[in-house]
């Protein structure tokens, strides 16, 4: 799963998304570009609600990466 943060997302927004993931026992990797921050979520992300994550402050979009089983 990829979580794309808005250009206007604050550090607090980013930390809140990370905390949300940690509380649910997910690992993640952050990529920081010139204009965007992207969080790659590792694990069985089918249990995460994309619509809920999209509503978190600072989140632009969420992309679920299909598994080979899908």
pLDDT tens, residue order, the chain (70 aa): 999 999 999 999 999 999 999 999 999 999 999 889 999 999 889 889 999 999 999 999 999 988 766 5
The first and second tokens of residue 46, run together, are: 């089918």
In Å, how far from its chain's centre is CA 4? Answer: 6
Question: For the chain, which domains are there?
Answer: 2-63 (3.30.70.1140)
pTM (two decimals): 0.90
Report whether 1 contacts 64 (CB < 8 A). yes
The first and second tokens of residue 13, run together, are: 């927004």
């Amino acid at each position: 799963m990829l979580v794309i943060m808005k250009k206007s997302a604050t550090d607090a927004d980013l930390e809140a998304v990370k905390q949300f993931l940690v509380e649910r026992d997910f690992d993640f990797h952050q990529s920081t570009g010139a204009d965007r921050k992207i969080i790659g979520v590792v694990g069985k992300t089918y249990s995460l609600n994309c619509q809920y994550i999209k509503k978190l402050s600072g989140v632009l979009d969420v992309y679920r990466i299909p598994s080979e089983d899908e």
